[in-house]
Chains A and B, each alone.
Chain A
Amino acid sequence: MTDKRDIQFTLNGKHYAEAVETRFSLADMLREQLDMTGTHLGCEHGVCGACTVLCDGEPVRACLMLGVQANGKEIITIEGLADGDELSPIQAAFRKHHGLQCGYCTPGFLTTLTAFLRDHPDPTEREIREAISGNICRCTGYQNIVAAALDAAEAMRAA
């Protein structure tokens, strides 16, 4: 029942060596084994995007990837977006534009947009909406999230 594999990976810049149950999703590993609870589970079937983390820089669903698949990878979660006490541009923009209400889906939006803005420094509103079309938010109606992403892109270009 508890078949485990030894794996090594980097999480938010820190090296880990862990024995992980083979049936653990990456989200299970982060939340249950490492107590990194910033990554949230919204649907556990890969649609809502709340559990999105960055794996080697690309957004992935932590509910659809197995923990053992993190072997040799570099994982970034919501806990790793800020530089110490300094919020990343997209985090700061979410606060400024009221881009979150309950905050539960927010980690997935922030990780998704972190990768998107890195690759698309000057996006249109439409492109941002496409980029977050795999993330569901029940509270905000998305408008302030889009506004935050546009603002963060501008701030990043100016930096």
Chain B
Amino acid sequence: MGARYFGAEVQRGEDEALITGKGQYVDDIRLAGTLHGAFLRSPHAHAVIKSIDKSAAEKMPGVAAVFTYADLEEPVNQQQVQPYPNPNIRQDIRPYPLAKDEVCFVGEAVAFIVADTRHIAEDALALIDVEYDILEPVVNLRDAISEAAPIAHRGSPDNLVSQLKISYGEIDNAFEKADQLFKTDFLQHRGGCHAMEGRGVIAQYDPILESFTIWSATQCPYLVRRSLASQFELPESRIRVIANDVGGGFGPKAGFYIEEIITPWAARKLGRPIKWIEDRREHFLTTNTQRDTWWELEIAVTAKGRIEGVRGSVITDNGAYIPYGLLLPFTTMAPFPGPYKVLALDLTQDVVYTNTVSNSPVRGAGRPNAAYAMERVIETVARNLKIDPAEVRRRNFIQKDDFPYKTGLIHFNGRPMTYDSGDYHALLEKALELADYDGFAARQAEARKENRYLGIGVSSCIEDTGMGPYEGVSVRVDPRGQVYVSSGAASQGQGHKTILRQIVADELSVDIEKIHVEIGDTGKFPQGVGTVGSRVGVNIGTAAYSAATEVKTKALALAAEILEADLNNLEIEDGIIRDRGRSNITISLGEIALQLAPMAGAAIPEGHTASLEATSFDASKGPPHASGSNVCEVEVDLGTGEVKLLNYSVAHDCGRKINPLIVEGQIIGGVVHGIGNALFEEMIYDENGQPQNTNYGEYLLPIATEMPQINIVHQETPSPLNPLGLKGAGEGGTIPAANAVIAAIENALEDFGVVVDKYPIHPERLCELIDQGRMSEAAE
């Protein structure tokens, strides 16, 4: 029997609870006797704490306790553990669970109040008196690298977290022999997580079992468990972390945060469950952000637009602490040179501390940065050589028969970066066709008659998805023929349960309604990694397929004996195993399960193993590479600088799609996130390191009226690295989007020579650039 569910638009089983108000997000969980926590946070970007007087707050009725650093005992009073240690980190500075004697960004936690209600806890915050000595902060990434810069942390020699270099090919030779040399410099600005549910923790301590149960709105319950075990010096078996319904993740919820230390610690101390729920202002101040990078690139190119070499530097703002190792800086470099066959590359990355909130991956991690940089290179070549940007891409793409293609770089798994499969030329043509790229000149000319300025932009990318090491899946059939699936991979809305059900239902040939899935609970599955980097579909898909195949093999082997049939003649349909030659001879999966899991005294049939179940940690044999080409069409109002998005076309290749409904949802959501980076999202700090826009009136997220229709066409180049041919789909929308939008704006304003040097690009900046263009035109 063929696949019924794989590749079909199966509606999600997750949805019924969520559309009827029955979700169980962390703040919805009610435990008897719960106390509520609130954090006092630093109002300064950089200061020394001289004294803290908490006596008035402690006396307030309803307050159970007020904790500062001085109250923490060993080993919890150590710096937050580093989940991703790396020898390339020069200065590995992590926050203390509560500030020890120095605060290094606005929002750093100074004290924790626990009270009967959240309202009382927040009231009491105002009664804590902290005396600070204010220090000069370093706020800007380019300042941070200069010798005269203020130092983000007292006692540090400088602000350098790490310097990373990558190179391959003969870069000097490429630049000596080039027909033309070009330069491009630009800033990419950070945006935040802005999951609609903020972070949150509930912790309960059982003094009899000496064990914690922790609910956290996290993407990585196993990372939280391991970090806590290390922080508390406890075996992992004493810590159960549950990520039930989680209201969006987008990267920043993949980290480990001090609130995940303090809340359980205080719960143990006070012998009561404690809940801490982040409010939106705290989210702006304290949840990791990402994308601040400043690039200076040089390009060596032939007269025909073939890129022979790229060299240059990038500064990455790490923020105040390094909560996530160097994963982000690595992902900013590893995707080079994107889908292009660039013969030589040489890049240096300086990662710097500043007195701003810490940085860790946001949707795509460093990949959108790297993709934007390579696309800027393409645009620069196209602009200077006056070649159509789509044609520059065609001339530089890796060819279809070049796969597997080694770029010359090393993946952060330590192996050579290898693109497994793809067809970038065909994918680009699909996008151009969907966008009616050829018809654009006529549309533009027509609009220009009415003095309307239309532009079109193209953007292409690759994405290393499905990274290892694994994400395990268990499949067990019970005597009723119901199938229970568990996995470590927590979901923040990606529909993991549905795709697990699809794959297992197909492989066991049972109705999808009989498949029951549990995920995101370290008490239910022994090991997991985390939902990051477009890796889960690939890894749980592979493991689910392997585990279900093993269960099926076990079941058929026993069925062949019981039915006295030839194994090769057996088939399963709707949970019933039958002999093809004798269709009335059958046995159900449930009956097989009963034979393999009998009660006391009975025997397991000889040669078979107990329980109709299997667990697999099989993973993709390397990261499958997805790819995409996007085309955006815009209209720019010369008077106001307003950018209207007219149309957005996506050609995307994520291998075989498990569920097109979910894949398209990921792509559309991802594109909109990238559009937000290009046009809207800007976390503004003043020169004192004070965040200036910590609400949604002033920090703009994409809303429905500003978004264009996004049309998608798929290309399926199956990955040879895993049995189902899967590639990840979670971030491929975001990665190329910013350049598509910005290139379209530049194209619309070509007459004025507008080159966008920073995103997000706001209307007022566009007006400045248009005016500059007009003035230089007038001067000529």
Contacts and interface: CB of A to CB of B under 8 A. Distances in A.
A140 B668 contact: yes
A70 interface: no
A1 to B, nearest CB: 7
A142 B701 contact: no
| Contact-size category for A | 35 or more
A159 B330 CA distance: 56
B237 to A, nearest CB: 30
Given A101-B669, A142-B672, A45 B697 contact: yes
Contact of A103 (B493, B661, B672, B705): B493
B704 A40 contact: no
- Most A CB contacts (10 A, CB to CB) among B18, B117, B494 go to B18
Interface in B693-733: 695-697, 701-705, 707, 709-710
Given A98-B661, A138-B196, A42 B20 contact: no
Nearest to B62: A1
A52 interface: no
Nearest to B120: A1
Contacts of A104: 23, 25, 195-197, 247-248, 493
A43 B283 CA distance: 10
Contact of A48 (B25, B672, B696): B696
Interface string A90-101: 010011101011
Contacts of A40: 25, 196-197, 247
A105 interface: yes
Given A47-B695, A101-B493, A138-B248, A42 B11 contact: no
Interface in B501-560: none
Given A42-B280, A101-B665, A105-B196, A37 B28 contact: yes
A82 to B, nearest CB: 6
B671 interface: yes
Interface string B98-112: 000000000000000
Interface in A103-154: 103-107, 110, 128-130, 132-133, 135-146
B21 A98 contact: no
A95 B710 CA distance: 20
Contact of B20 (A91, A96, A129): A91
A78 B196 contact: no
Contact of B701 (A23, A28, A82, A136): A136
A87 interface: yes
A56 interface: no
Contact of A45 (B120, B123, B668, B696): B696
A140 B28 contact: no
B32 to A, nearest CB: 12
A36 B21 CA distance: 8
A81 interface: yes
Interface string B668-685: 111111000000000000
Contact of B11 (A1, A38, A41, A96): A96
A151 to B, nearest CB: 13
Contact of B703 (A38, A133, A144): A133
Contacts of B248: 101-102, 104, 138-139
Given A37-B28, A136-B701, A100 B18 contact: yes
Interface in A29-57: 31-32, 35-45, 47-48, 50
B194 interface: yes
Across chains A and B, which 7 residue pairs bring their CB atoms closest together, nearest first? A38-B21, A104-B247, A102-B493, A103-B18, A101-B493, A141-B672, A78-B21
Interface of A: 1, 21, 23, 28, 31-32, 35-45, 47-48, 50, 77-79, 81-82, 87, 91, 94-96, 98, 100-107, 110, 128-130, 132-133, 135-146
